[in-house]
Amino acid sequence: MPTQQQVIIVGGGVIGLLTALNLAPHVGHVTLLDRSGLGQESSWAGGGIVSPLYPWRYSAAVTALAHWSQDFYPQLGARLFADTGIDPEVHTTGLYWLDLPDEDEALAWAQRLNRPLSKVDISAAYDGVPVLGGGYRSAVYMANVANVRNPRLVKSLKAALLGQPNVTVREHCEVRGFLRDGQAVVGVNTADGELHGDQVVLTAGAWSGDLLESLGVRLPVEPVKGQMILFKCEADFLPSMVLAKGRYAIPRRDGHILVGSTLEHEGYDKTPTVSALESLKASAVELLPALADAQPVKHWAGLRPGSPEGIPFIGALEGFDGLWLNCGHYRNGLVLAPASCQLFADLMLGREPIIDPAPYAPAGRLAGD
């Protein structure tokens, strides 16, 4: 691709931010647009575990992106900290899964793919996490699982982008449609007027499908609501992440503990609800009984970009020259972001891709194809 290309990226979550950062050194100019503030939707709302919650339940396509990203995250965090002074806090704590109904499948997956997940005696889990609730009977553990403090990751990515001389960031700039020249997409129509570019990249998360409808394209990406709560404890309260019955607790370095999350199909409504708050508090106390005496310091909801099997759409959109997709990561946007955005840059720039791009290609995967 010619180096002086003007690239417009629609959507400023972690996927859009990292896509822009990867492309900026290789193109003429990057303009990143977001309908609200950068990273304020799913990227801000998630827990930041650098692993799918149950990695053995996903397809090889998700696994390939997850493994590449997990290995890359520590150096990404270090690079962003060095460049911006904002530490995304890639915090390696390990993760205990408790009373798994499909423990045998998990262990077989780990052995098949040579991943460091293993069965441990339940006493080891209680030794590793002394505040863990009673009554658990079995545990598996993966030592190298990290979490990233996603609001800080967003801030560091934004700062890194603002330091690039050929990047323009426009927040609170809603994209309402695409500009066409025959079969080519040559820009976007925004609330502030038309903006022309050589390539347009859609990284708009849960809103990606709605934007493509203006082209008559049915992208199977829909909003899926998730609610979380946050506690503040001592810095050493929870030494490892724990997960049971679909709910998890994630420790930050300063003692904040995130507990999540719900899975709700409520359209674009992201109003936190009392019923979810009570359910999450009950899960928190079951996992960590000491939290019974703590009040959540925050409760929020976000919208995940739900997609079939959680496999993102990465690549050019057939029939619309100049339009590209990097969206539909469902529950794993933060997990998969480094690999997804590296793969995307490889495809757009004509480089050898880091992994086989075929499973993520939009062709043949859109509704009605």
Within this chain, do residues 228 and 350 fall inside the same structural domain, yes or no? Answer: no
Q: Which residues contact 30 (CB under 8 A, 6 or more apart)?
A: 7, 8, 9, 20, 23, 24, 164, 166, 167, 168
Residues 350 and 209 in one domain: yes
Q: Are residues 139 and 226 in the same domain?
A: yes
* Cα–Cα distance for residue pair 264/262, rounded to 1 Å: 6
C-alpha–C-alpha distance, residues 273 and 112, integer Å:
41
Specify whether 354 is located in the same domain as 336: yes
Q: Is residue 24 part of a domain?
A: yes
What residues make up the domain containing 237? 95-143+222-306
CATH number at residue 138: 3.30.9.10
Same-domain check for residues 139 and 229: yes
- Element at 299 (helix H, strand E): strand 298-306
User: Do 302 and 226 share a structural domain?
Assistant: yes
Domain presence at residue 252 = yes
CATH of the domain at 179: 3.50.50.60
Is 190 among the domain residues?
Answer: yes
pLDDT digits (tens, 9 = 90+) for 21-41: 999 999 999 999 999 999 999
User: What 3-state class would DSSP assign to 293?
Assistant: helix
- Whether residues 126 and 167 share a domain: the answer is no
Backbone angles phi, psi at 180, to 5 degrees: -120, 150
Instruction: Report yes or no on 81 lying in a domain.
Output: no
- The number of domains in the chain is 2
Question: What integer pLDDT is reported at residue 366 of this predicted model?
Answer: 85
Domain match, 209 and 231 both: no
Q: What is the pLDDT of residue 1?
A: 58
Q: What is the pLDDT of residue 368?
A: 54
The residues of the chain scoring below 50 in pLDDT are: none
Domain shared by 168 and 298, yes or no = no
Indicate whether 300 and 160 sit together in one domain.
no
